[in-house]
Structure formats: structure tokens, C-alpha cells
């Protein structure tokens, strides 16, 4: 079976996923120095529980969640806390971080390699506790703390759990490689989540360009027990197929209401990487201190998928992968459509890092901002049914109120409009500015 | 290792499509080449001169306007070239060249730059240029080079003219049979403007635009369909191919009405726009004073484009109607 419908709009950028070649996951050596920013999730930053000079091991809790929407943070290497200070942050520019110097022993807090088979019998509360302790956040990029997402209010029960394996961003292949290498563990994690939520069914959604992953998951589903209600659904290859609202619409035909959450229509979406992290937390009692990322782009000599420790500086990964002698233009965290351009390679891998791209001047587009010719391509491409050119022009003229009235705040910043615009107009830049201005004036009125 | 490299920091996305405005303009111009070639072939050397003068005058005006208005030079972006070419294609093949030059000047300077340049004009520059020439030089603009051998000295040229002024019987006297008339219309061996004669070649050009994703189906299909429906009810089975292939309908529906700047931005708005163009075209052809209505129909619809847009907003995902 395949997803029958598709969402409106979307684009087909060149995939460039084959740069990585084989889809094995290589283990990246632990870094000499790990930079662990306290802000690793949406919500409040965590609060350090270690101080300068403390000895830590791999997996030691170094900062505790503070507030409801916040997540624990663990050391990713063994060594000594040498400082807690401001350091470059890939999302925030600069933020407080725990700096750990490695003792090169890579000693774990406990053994993380043996599977605890009794975990399958744990209660929902116990499982949630394990997930919370492990500091798991949404690894698709939104970094919403998983234990909060998995604990919806009682009046909003989740009937359908969707495991998002779309990975629609060009270049990135980390989820794909994870699906091929850890299919069984991901399924176990999915079963666990389905149990916590008491969901009726669990749909594993994978874009059709990953046929091997689709057939592997189907094969595993046939051979595993206790998988009632699980189903693998291939999706059309189209960006942004993996965007939460578009994914839900494709699979269920239902629209998440504007300004609402998936649980408003009894759905919950988790990314493949998050599901795997939940498996590790529950069955291996392993906190989230490493993740799989893609290091790619035509500026990288040996693109690959790495299992890398959180806190590894980008430059360590880039040096290890080698830089080609082409003209480097941009360093991106994430994919080329929604990723964030970095001003320095000193920034560390955080929980939100799905990839590091070094783009050459021929790959990274130059946006000229020529006059809009009103071709309407942005309107056709917008998966949210917006009129990006109109919204952007209103923001440009300072009419945030008008922009708001035609859906400014519904934009999810997928960048499809900006990609397709023949004038090279920076539509998304204006839309983001408009959203920022709107929130600022709203907060000022309070 | 990246120390010595300059990293560019911008908002996402970091990649973009290869289809730029410039490429779009040149693809449209190329799609018009077959029809323009046929015009020169059927009407002779003077048609080539008309095309050349229109294009050169448009380009020159564009250059002077950007210079005077201290705007970045946009002469390369292909839009002025395309305007000149489109203007030439809707002019009579024998039009005096100085009038052609004036038309090109009007299209660019008055219709386009007086409103702010590329992207800001309300009216289709080429059609506005034609309308200006029509108003200024009505006689020369309706003097058609005759291609047919007329048995009894009929001098009216275009088939639409013939039908309007002398009736169906005269038209049939010239062309003998329906099938002969339709064949001539499709190939382009009839009187008319340089580019609007060969319906077949124009359709090929239109299909190129559709496949290259320069235009969408909304305007041409709704426009042509509306014309077909009205012509069926007014002219029966004869009316459909006659109105479809004669005059500037195919050129207008694929190349003029689809001008992105002057047509609605939303798909729904584009369909309304196309239907409006169709109704007005047929109204002018059947009831109006002119034999042909494509030019004024599109210009009139251009003027209501903002209004159409206001009432044809897209449906926002997750918002109930």
C-alpha cells in the first residue's frame, strides 16, 4: 500500500543524496574537547549540575531540565569540566555551554550495549521517566522535548502515531542510513511509543526514493511479533513531504488546524532519529549523547554519515572529512532548504544537528532580489496555501497587520517559495522578518 | 581549515531553481520564433523589418528609461526584447516602420516604466502599444496585406473582417468550403497581423511554454474554452474552429493573457481572468465595432486583475472556509 494522496504545492529540488555514497554509519571518534550548550531544546535551557574541575564520564548528567519544556543534558565524553561559559551555538549565535576536556579513555557511566529485554514490560509512566531522564528531544530539527510530546493532555488522545522517515531535505541521508542499519531497534521504539500513547495504529512513512528502507521495514514487520497496527507507507518524493502538517495530510487526509497541533486531530509525529533515541533510552538506558548526522556538500572531500558525539565542533568533523579545493561559500547546519548558515566552524554538533553541509559557490545560490514579476510560482509551490509574494511585499512595506491577515503566521518556513522564485526574491527573509515583528509587537502590547 | 574562507550567512533556503526571470523571457521569445518565422514567410520581407524595428525600439527605450530613472540596467533580462517581439506580432505586416518604432517606445516608456518598470505595470505593454497605434493610426493599423485571390474584387483582408463586414456568404465565396477555410487558418495563409495567422505554430509555441513550466494551463484553457462555448452557441459547429483559429486568439491566450505581471497570481484568479477574456473577446467579435477583440479583452481584464485577486485568495492549509 502507498499513501494515496499528496499535499498541495511543494517542489522538486535536486536531491544530491548520493554524495554520501554507501549508507553505512561510521563511528566518529570522540572529540578532544566537547562543547555542550545548555540550550539543546525548545523551551528553557537546562541548569548545570557540574562545576569547573568535575570529572565526568560518557553519559553523566551534566545539566538538569529546568521548567516543563526543557531537557536533561549528558556528557558525551569522559574527562573533566574545564569551563562553563559562552560559546558559539549553531542556532543562537552564542550561548552558555559546558566545556569538557577528554581524558581519552571514553569511559561510560554504565554499560550501554546490552539490551534490557524486560523493558518491554515497563509501565507507560516508567517509560516516560526513562525518556525524560535521557534528555531526548525531537531530532528532526524542532527539538521539542520528547517526554512532553509523548504526554498529551487526557482530552486529546492520540489515535495515530506517525513515524517520520520522509527525510525530504536534499543532501541529508542520516535518517535513511539509520533506517537501514537499525530497522529492528526503530520498530521496537515505535512499538514502545505506540504503547505509551495507547494509539490505535502506527504508520511508518518513508519517501519512495528510499526503496531499500521501505522493503527492509516491511520485511522486519513480517518477522517481528507484537506489531499489530504497524504499517509501512511509501510517500511520493516531494519537498516538503516530511513537514509535519503535510505528512499528516498525506497519510490521513486531515488538516491540522491553523495555529493548532497534530494532537488536535489525534495524531502525533515522531522522527526516525527520535524513535531510535527512545529505543536506546528505554532498552539500553542510554542517554542522548550521540546522534547520526550527514556531513556532505561539494565542499567536503569524503561525505559520509557519522554517529557523532553531541558537542563535537563542526571543524573537527570537517577537518576529518577533508575540504575540496573548490570555492567554499556556505557552512550549513541541517539541509539546504531549512538549514542554518553558520558564521564559524567553531560551533558544536547539538541535538538538533541532522547534517553539516559545506556548500561551494556553484551549489549555494546567489539571490539577486530582482523585481517580482507576479508569476505565481510561489503561490503554486506553497504547501500551506499562502501567497508568499504578497505577504513578503506587505512586510517589505511595513504592513505587518495586512500580512498577518493573509496568513503570515501560518508560514512554516519551508522555503519552497524562495527556491522556486525566478526573480531570486528573498521571500522567506521578509516573511521571517514579518513573523518576528509581529511577535515583537504582540509581546509589547502585553 | 575554514579560517581563511569567507562564509556567507543568509537565511534559508540555500539553493534555488535554475529557471530565472531572464531564462523565462528568452524561452518565451524562442517559443514565438516559429510563428514569427511563418509571418515573415507569408508576408514577406517587410514583416521582418517590422519585427526588427519593434524589438530595437523597445530595447533602446528600455535602455534610455533605466538610464534616465537611474535604475539598474535591465536590457539584458529579455523582457524588453519580448515586449518588442510580441508587439510586432500583433501589428499589420505593412505598417510604416516609424509607426512601429513609436509603438515600441509607447509600450516600454508609457506602459511599463511610467508605472515603475518590470513587475509594476498594470497593462500588458505589447497590447497597450498596439492599442495606442490603433487609436493613433487607425487606417494603417487596419490595412492588411492580402494573400487570397479574391474572385469578385473583395478587398477586406482578415477572415474575421470579412465575416463581420460582409457576412458569412462572402467569406465562403473566398474560401469555398469550411475545411479549406479551417486549413488555411491553421496553417496561416490568411490575412492578419504578422504573428497571429498560423494557429498551428502558435499552439506549438504555447505547448513549449506549458512544458517548460513558464505558464500554467489555467489562463489559456479557461480563455479558449470560454471562446469555444460562446462560439458554439452563436455560430454552431462552424463557429468553434473559426473563432478558435482566426484572429489573435491563440497568440493572446498563450502569450499575452498569460503575461505574469498583468494577470492574477492565484490559480483561481487566473481561471476567472481567462473566462473574462473569453467573454469580452466574443462580445467584441460578435457585437462590438471591431472585428477582433482579443487585444481589448485582455487589456480590460488587466485592469481588473487586482480586483480578481482580492476575491480569489488561496485556501490556507488548516483554515476552514
Find the range with the poorest average confidence among A29-43, A288-302, B64-78. Answer: B64-78
Which of the two residues, A8 and B144, has the higher pLDDT score? A8
Is residue B236 within a helix (H) or strand (E), and if so which, with residue range? helix B218-245
Q: Is A245 in contact with B317 (Cβ distance < 8 A)?
A: yes
**Closest by CA position to B62, among listed B145, B148, B130, B125:** B125
What distance, in Å, lies between the first and last C-alpha atoms of chain A? 50
Q: Is B23 in contact with A418 (Cβ distance < 8 A)?
A: no
Q: What is the C-alpha radius of gyration for chain B, rounded to an integer number of angstroms?
A: 21
Cβ(A99)–Cβ(A34) under 8 Å? Answer: yes
Q: Is A345 in contact with B1 (Cβ distance < 8 A)?
A: yes
Which residues 6+ apart lie within 8 Å of B264 measured at CB?
A: A376, B270, B272, B273, B305, B308, B309, B312
**Closest by CA position to A204, among listed A215, A217, A188:** A217
Q: Is B16 in contact with A170 (Cβ distance < 8 A)?
A: no
**Could you tell me the pLDDT band of residue B151, with boundaries at 50, 70 and 90?**
very low
What is the model's pLDDT at position B202? 93
How far is Cα A27 from Cα A317, in angstroms, rounded to an integer? Answer: 11
> Nearest-CA residue of chain B relative to A255?
B318
Q: A32 phi and psi, to 5 degrees?
A: -70, -35
Q: Is A385 in contact with B270 (Cβ distance < 8 A)?
A: no
Q: Is A337 in contact with B314 (Cβ distance < 8 A)?
A: no
Q: How far is A170 from chain B (nearest CA, A)?
A: 10
Percent of all residues in chain A with a pLDDT value above 90, rounded to a whole number: 77
Residues of A in contact with B270 (CB under 8 A): 376
Residues of A in contact with B267 (CB under 8 A): 376, 379-380
What is the model's pLDDT at position A414? 95
Q: Which position has the grid cell 467584441?
A: B284
* Interface residues from chain B to A (CB-CB < 8 Å): 1-2, 5, 7-17, 19-21, 23-24, 77, 117-120, 216, 260-261, 263-267, 270, 313-320
Q: DSSP secondary-structure letter at B113?
A: G
**3 state DSSP class of A244:** helix
Q: Which position has the grid cell 525548545?
A: A42
> Nearest-CA residue of chain A relative to B270?
A376
Q: Is A422 in contact with B23 (Cβ distance < 8 A)?
A: yes
pLDDT in tens, A107-153: 998 899 888 888 888 888 899 999 999 999 999 878 899 989 998 89
**Could you tell me the pLDDT band of residue B4, with boundaries at 50, 70 and 90?**
low
How far is Cα A283 from Cα A277, in angstroms, rounded to an integer? Answer: 10
Cβ(A108)–Cβ(A5) under 8 Å? Answer: no
Judged by phi (left if over 0) then psi (alpha if -120 to 50, else beta), residue A385 lies in left
**Could you tell me the pLDDT band of residue B155, with boundaries at 50, 70 and 90?**
very low
pTM: 0.91
> Nearest-CA residue of chain A relative to B320?
A257
What is the model's pLDDT at position B153? 43
Q: How far is B284 from chain A (nearest CA, A)?
A: 28
> Nearest-CA residue of chain A relative to B73?
A370
Question: Which of B7, B117, B265 is the closest to A376 by Cβ?
Answer: B265
In the numeric block, which cell numbers belong to residue A238?
516531494
Q: Is A373 in contact with B118 (Cβ distance < 8 A)?
A: yes
Q: How far is B291 from chain A (nearest CA, A)?
A: 31
> Nearest-CA residue of chain B relative to A361?
B8
What is the model's pLDDT at position A228? 76
Cβ(A175)–Cβ(A270) under 8 Å? Answer: no
Q: How far is B221 from chain A (nearest CA, A)?
A: 17
Residues of A in contact with B15 (CB under 8 A): 13-14, 170, 336-337, 363-365, 419
Q: Is A423 in contact with B21 (Cβ distance < 8 A)?
A: yes
Which residues 6+ apart lie within 8 Å of A365 measured at CB?
A: A424, B13, B14, B15, B16
Q: DSSP secondary-structure letter at B164?
A: H
Q: Is A249 in contact with B317 (Cβ distance < 8 A)?
A: yes
**Residue B1: pLDDT above 60?**
no
pLDDT in tens, A379-417: 999 999 999 999 999 999 999 999 999 999 999 999 999
pLDDT in tens, A318-372: 999 999 988 899 999 999 999 999 999 999 999 999 999 999 998 988 877 788 9
pLDDT in tens, B272-295: 999 999 999 999 998 888 888 899
Residues of B in contact with A340 (CB under 8 A): 12
Q: Which residues pair with A61 in a beta bridge?
A: A74
Best of B9, B12, B74, B213 to mutate (most A CBs within 10 Å, chain A): B12
Is residue B80 within a helix (H) or strand (E), and if so which, with residue range? helix B79-89
pLDDT in tens, A196-213: 899 999 999 999 999 999
**Could you tell me the pLDDT band of residue B154, with boundaries at 50, 70 and 90?**
very low
Is residue A84 within a helix (H) or strand (E), and if so which, with residue range? strand A79-89
Q: Is B318 in contact with A258 (Cβ distance < 8 A)?
A: yes
Residues of B in contact with A11 (CB under 8 A): 17
Question: Which of A358, A410, A419 is the closest to B13 by Cβ?
Answer: A419
Best of A265, A345, A373 to mutate (most B CBs within 10 Å, chain B): A373
Judged by phi (left if over 0) then psi (alpha if -120 to 50, else beta), residue A30 lies in beta
CA contacts within 13 A on the Cβ side of A28: 30
In the numeric block, which cell numbers belong to residue A151?
504526554
What is the overall mean pLDDT for chain B? 89
**Residue A64: pLDDT above 90?**
yes
Question: Which of B13, B120, B320 is the closest to A337 by Cβ?
Answer: B13
In the numeric block, which cell numbers belong to residue B80?
524588453
**Residue B156: pLDDT above 80?**
no
Q: Which residues pair with A205 in a beta bridge?
A: A164, A233
Question: Which of B5, B13, B265 is the closest to A387 by Cβ?
Answer: B265
Q: How far is A341 from chain B (nearest CA, A)?
A: 5
Cβ(A76)–Cβ(A386) under 8 Å? Answer: no
Count of beta carbons in the 10 Å neighbourhood of residue B160? 25
Residues of A in contact with B11 (CB under 8 A): 341, 426, 428-429, 432
What is the model's pLDDT at position A42? 87
Cβ(B30)–Cβ(B201) under 8 Å? Answer: no
Query: How do A340-342 and A160-165 pair as beta strands?
Result: unpaired
Q: DSSP secondary-structure letter at A113?
A: S
Count of beta carbons in the 10 Å neighbourhood of residue B177? 9
**Residue B198: pLDDT above 50?**
yes
Q: Taking residues B148-176, report their average pLDDT.
A: 68
**Could you tell me the pLDDT band of residue B5, with boundaries at 50, 70 and 90?**
low
Could you give the ipTM of this predicted complex? 0.90
Q: Taking residues B204-233, report their average pLDDT.
A: 94
How far is Cα A318 from Cα A299, in angstroms, rounded to an integer? Answer: 9
Which of the two residues, A132 and B163, has the higher pLDDT score? A132
Best of A90, A247, A319, A375 to mutate (most B CBs within 10 Å, chain B): A375
How far is Cα B47 from Cα B34, in angstroms, rounded to an integer? Answer: 14
Q: Is B7 in contact with A8 (Cβ distance < 8 A)?
A: no
Q: How far is A124 from chain B (nearest CA, A)?
A: 32
> How many A×B Cβ pairs under 8 Å?
176
Q: Is B318 in contact with A257 (Cβ distance < 8 A)?
A: yes
Residues of B in contact with A415 (CB under 8 A): 12-13
> Nearest-CA residue of chain A relative to B10?
A341
Question: Which of A332, A385, A420 is the closest to B14 by Cβ?
Answer: A332
**Closest by CA position to B91, among listed B136, B56, B34, B140:** B140
Amino acid at each position: 500500500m502507498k499513501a494515496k494522496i499528496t499535499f498541495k504545492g511543494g517542489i522538486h529540488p535536486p536531491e544530491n543524496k548520493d554524495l554520501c555514497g554507501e549508507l553505512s554509519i561510521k563511528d566518529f571518534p570522540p572529540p578532544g574537547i566537547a562543547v555542550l550548550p545548555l540550550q539543546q531544546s525548545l523551551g528553557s535551557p537546562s541548569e548545570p549540575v557540574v562545576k569547573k574541575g568535575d570529572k565526568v564520564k560518557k553519559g553523566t548528567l551534566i545539566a538538569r531540565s529546568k521548567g516543563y519544556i526543557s531537557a536533561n543534558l549528558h556528557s558525551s565524553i569522559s574527562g573533566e569540566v574545564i569551563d562553563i561559559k559562552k560559546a558559539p551555538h549553531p542556532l543562537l549565535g552564542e550561548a552558555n555551554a559546558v566545556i569538557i576536556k577528554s581524558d581519552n579513555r571514553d569511559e561510560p557511566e554504565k554499560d550501554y550495549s546490552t539490551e534490557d529485554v524486560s523493558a518491554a514490560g515497563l509501565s507507560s509512566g516508567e517509560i516516560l521517566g526513562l525518556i525524560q531522564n535521557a534528555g531526548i528531544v525531537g531530532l528532526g530539527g524542532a527539538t521539542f522535548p520528547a517526554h512532553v510530546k509523548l504526554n498529551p493532555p487526557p482530552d486529546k488522545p492520540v489515535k495515530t502515531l506517525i513515524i517520520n522517515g520522509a527525510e525530504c531535505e536534499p543532501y541529508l541521508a542520516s535518517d535513511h542510513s539509520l533506517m537501514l542499519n537499525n530497522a529492528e531497534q526503530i520498530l521496537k521504539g515505535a512499538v514502545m511509543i505506540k504503547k505509551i500513547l495507547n494509539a490505535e495504529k502506527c504508520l511508518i512513512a518513508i519517501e519512495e526514493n528510499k526503496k531499500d528502507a521501505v522493503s527492509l521495514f516491511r520485511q522486519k514487520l513480517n518477522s517481528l511479533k507484537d506489531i499489530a497496527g504497524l504499517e509501512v507507507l511509501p510517500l511520493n518524493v516531494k519537498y516538503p513531504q516530511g513537514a509535519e502538517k503535510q505528512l499528516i495530510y498525506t497519510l490521513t487526509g486531515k488538516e491540522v488546524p491553523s495555529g493548532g497541533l497534530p494532537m488536535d486531530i489525534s495524531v502525533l509525529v515522531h522522527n526516525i532519529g527520535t524513535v531510535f533515541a527512545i529505543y536506546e533510552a528505554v532498552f539500553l538506558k542510554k542517554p542522548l549523547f550521540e546522534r547520526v548526522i550527514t556531513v556532505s556538500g561539494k565542499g567536503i572531500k569524503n561525505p559520509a554519515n557519522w554517529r557523532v558525539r553531541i558537542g563535537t565542533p563542526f571543524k573537527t568533523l570537517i577537518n576529518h572529512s577533508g575540504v575540496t579545493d573548490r570555492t567554499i561559500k556556505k557552512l550549513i547546519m541541517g539541509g539546504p532548504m531549512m538549514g542554518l548558515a553558520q558564521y564559524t566552524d567553531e560551533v558544536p554538533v547539538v541535538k538538533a544537528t541532522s547534517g553539516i553541509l559545506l556548500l561551494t559557490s556553484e551549489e549555494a545560490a546567489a539571490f539577486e532580489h530582482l523585481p517580482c514579476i507576479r508569476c505565481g510560482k510561489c503561490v503554486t509551490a506553497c504547501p500551506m496555501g499562502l501567497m508568499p509574494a504578497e505577504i513578503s511585499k506587505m512586510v517589505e512595506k511595513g504592513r505587518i497587520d495586512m500580512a498577518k491577515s493573509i496568513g503570515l503566521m501560518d508560514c512554516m518556513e519551508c522555503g519552497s517559495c524562495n527556491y522556486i522564485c525566478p526573480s531570486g526574491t528573498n521571500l522567506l527573509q521578509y516573511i521571517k522578518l514579518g513573523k518576528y515583528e509581529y511577535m515583537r509587537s504582540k509581546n509589547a502590547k502585553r | 581549515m575554514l579560517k581563511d574562507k569567507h562564509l556567507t550567512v543568509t537565511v534559508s533556503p540555500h539553493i534555488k531553481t535554475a529557471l530565472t526571470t531572464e531564462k523565462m523571457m528568452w524561452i518565451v521569445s524562442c517559443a514565438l520564433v516559429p510563428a514569427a518565422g511563418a509571418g515573415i514567410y507569408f508576408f514577406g520581407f517587410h514583416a521582418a523589418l517590422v519585427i526588427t524595428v519593434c524589438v530595437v525600439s523597445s530595447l533602446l527605450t528600455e535602455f534610455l528609461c533605466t538610464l534616465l530613472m537611474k535604475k539598474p540596467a535591465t536590457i539584458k533580462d529579455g523582457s524588453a526584447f519580448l515586449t518588442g517581439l510580441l508587439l510586432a506580432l500583433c501589428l499589420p505586416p505593412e505598417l510604416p516602420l516609424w509607426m512601429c518604432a513609436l509603438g515600441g517606445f509607447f509600450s516600454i516608456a508609457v506602459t511599463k516604466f511610467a508605472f515603475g518598470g518590470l513587475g509594476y505595470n498594470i497593462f500588458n505593454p505589447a497590447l497597450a502599444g498596439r492599442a495606442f497605434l490603433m487609436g493613433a493610426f487607425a487606417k494603417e493599423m487596419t490595412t492588411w496585406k492580402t494573400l487570397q485571390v479574391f474572385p469578385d474584387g473583395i478587398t477586406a483582408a482578415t477572415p474575421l473582417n470579412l465575416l463581420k463586414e460582409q457576412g458569412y456568404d462572402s467569406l465562403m465565396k473566398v474560401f469555398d468550403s469550411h475545411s479549406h477555410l479551417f486549413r488555411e487558418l491553421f496553417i496561416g495563409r490568411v490575412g492578419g497581423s504578422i504573428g497571429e495567422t498560423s494557429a498551428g505554430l502558435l499552439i506549438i509555441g504555447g505547448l513549449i511554454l506549458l512544458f517548460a513550466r513558464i505558464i500554467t494551463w489555467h489562463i489559456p484553457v479557461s480563455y479558449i474554452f470560454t471562446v469555444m462555448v460562446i462560439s458554439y452557441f452563436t455560430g454552431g459547429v462552424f463557429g468553434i474552429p473559426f473563432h478558435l483559429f482566426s484572429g489573435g486568439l491563440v497568440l493572446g491566450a498563450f502569450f499575452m493573457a498569460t503575461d505574469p505581471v498583468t494577470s492574477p497570481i492565484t490559480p483561481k484568479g487566473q481561471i476567472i481572468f481567462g473566462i473574462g477574456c473569453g467573454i469580452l473577446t466574443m462580445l467584441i467579435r460578435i457585437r462590438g465595432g471591431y472585428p477582433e477583440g482579443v487585444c481589448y479583452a485582455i487589456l480590460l481584464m488587466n485592469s481588473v486583475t487586482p480586483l480578481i485577486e482580492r476575491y480569489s485568495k488561496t485556501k490556507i492549509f488548516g483554515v476552514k472556509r
